[in-house]
Amino acid sequence: MNFLEERILKDGIVKEGNVLKVDSFLNHQMDVRLFDQIGEEFKRRFADEKINKILTIEASGIGIACIVARHFDVPVIFAKKSKSINIEGDVYVAEVESFTHKCKNQVIVSKKFLNPEDKVLIIDDFLANGCALQGLISIVKSAGAEVSGIGIAIEKGFQPGGQVIRNLGFHLESLAIVDSMDYTTGEIKFRENA
């Protein structure tokens, strides 16, 4: 069992509807020391990739992405969920459906920050049905850039997102893959060797 799985067992809470609450350390309150360990581990797992940029999506991906970026010494771009008046028209757009918020969003990245030479590591806190991730991949492709890796903190292995992405041949690393959860007992089962 790795450091993140141990932390999930210690502080994660299983709720009805396959909700895993990790808001005490991952996506509301954020344990920056833990993020540093996550960064170190991704650096090890993606050691062979020539990554020059990290892409994530607001909001909860940003903290992890920034700390991970220190280990790669590269800038972070975060995809924005709605059109801000401060973003100009020249943007890459993808449609993203959120499981958590039950809504569709357009996510955008300004064209000037992604170009065909970029080797992009996509970082996010959660992977479930994979809609956010598909949107980010789509944006990287629109730029003609390369998805050199995808680093996820927690994958819900009982939802299809991760399998689809692996089937497509992407180098996806999830630090903890939850294969099942039971809110009546609080039990969480992880996939081995995640």
- In one-letter notation, the amino acid at residue 88 is E
Instruction: Tell me which residues touch a second copy (CB under 8 A).
Output: 19, 21, 23-25, 28-33, 35-36, 58-59, 62-63, 65-67, 69-70, 73-78, 80-82, 84-87, 100-102, 109-110, 112-113
Give the residue with the Cβ less far from a second copy, 67 or 172: 67
Encoded tokens for 92: 């890459």
Q: Measuring CA to CA, how many Å separate 25 from each of 35, 61, 63, 130, 161?
A: 9, 13, 11, 22, 23
Q: Give the β-pairing of 172-182 and 187-190.
A: antiparallel
What is the nearest approach in angstroms of a second copy to the Cβ of residue 88? 9
State the nearest-atom distance from the C-beta of 192 to a second copy, in Å: 27
Residue 132 is assigned to a ligand binding site: yes
Whether residue 103 is annotated as binding a ligand: the answer is no
Nearer to a second copy, 52 or 164 (CB): 52
H or E element at residue 65: helix 60-72
Handedness of CA 164, 60, 96, 19 (dihedral sign): positive
Binding residues for xanthine: 20, 27, 156
Binding residues for 5-phospho-alpha-D-ribose 1-diphosphate: 128-132
